[in-house]
Amino acid sequence: MSFDETRLDKLIRHRFGKSIPQSIIEKAIRNRDILVNGQKGKASDKVSDDVKIFVHPKIREIFINFNDEKQIDYKDYIDQFKKMIIYEDDELIIIDKPSGLPVQLGSKLKLAVDGMARAYNPDARLAHRIDKETSGITVLTKNIASARAMLYLFQNKKIEKNYVAIVNGKLPSDEFIIDAPLLKIHDKVVVDYLSGKPSTTKFKVLVKDEMSGISLILATPITGRTHQIRVHLSSIDCPILGDTKYGNKKYDFLCLHARYISFRKPNGKKISITTKLPEYFFMKGNID
């Protein structure tokens, strides 16, 4: 078989298996675990017989595992996905994602939003990502044009969004801003004033319990870095309740919820959505 003018992602599937999710391939390419002639590429790049494709050994193992394990039949989860939908039109699907459900498949086979969405609509694709443990608003698109439009809105800060979190610790004031550059090192993010990327989050206290040190706060990210809200709060010794990665107060759930989003579509229609907080935000010992 000749691979002249064949997409890079198609070549990877031919070599390692048709069952490998597109999200896994694209993430490996973004992380430079797949290189074309030693350079970072894109899934859509056309490759030929004379190029050298490097695939990191850890990624090779992940690819192989996808063919060794039983595949999930996402058609069985369409009804579950429908229950998460809070807005839908000809271009967009917006869901209220529960905590614990990843938006994309990881290194092991498991249930994820992107697989559920494609079973519901084959053209559905994620417009952005939120952490597995974070609950709340997640946007998907139904076609290439809407995907490009949402990417433009996110990149040009034309989307208003905020999160609600429960934190443990003494906050600096009822309203404050954390402007601390962030650097990703492997699977964690740290504040790094020398090498980090500019990162800014605004915070406002909604409810405060002086006795317990627990507060319900509103977080508005100005930039969109990985784990930004979680790391910024941890950096002032006020970690989010249930954040075992950046905090020390254990809880069954990460109390961080993507509550609100507002933006204007290219046709001028304004979309504004506010979701309810999960029930575990109001369990005994949290916010009454």
Residues that are catalytic: 131
φ/ψ of residue 135, rounded to 5: -100, 165
Q: What residues contact residue 32 under an 8 Å CB cut-off, 6+ apart?
A: 40
φ/ψ of residue 232, rounded to 5: -60, -45
Q: Tokens standing for 223? A: 């930039």
Bridge-based pairing of strands 135-141 and 256-264 is parallel
**Long-range contacts, stretch 69-75, CB < 8 angstroms, 24+ apart:** 69/108, 69/109, 70/109, 71/19, 71/109, 72/109, 72/110, 72/111, 72/115, 74/115, 74/116, 74/118, 74/119, 75/119
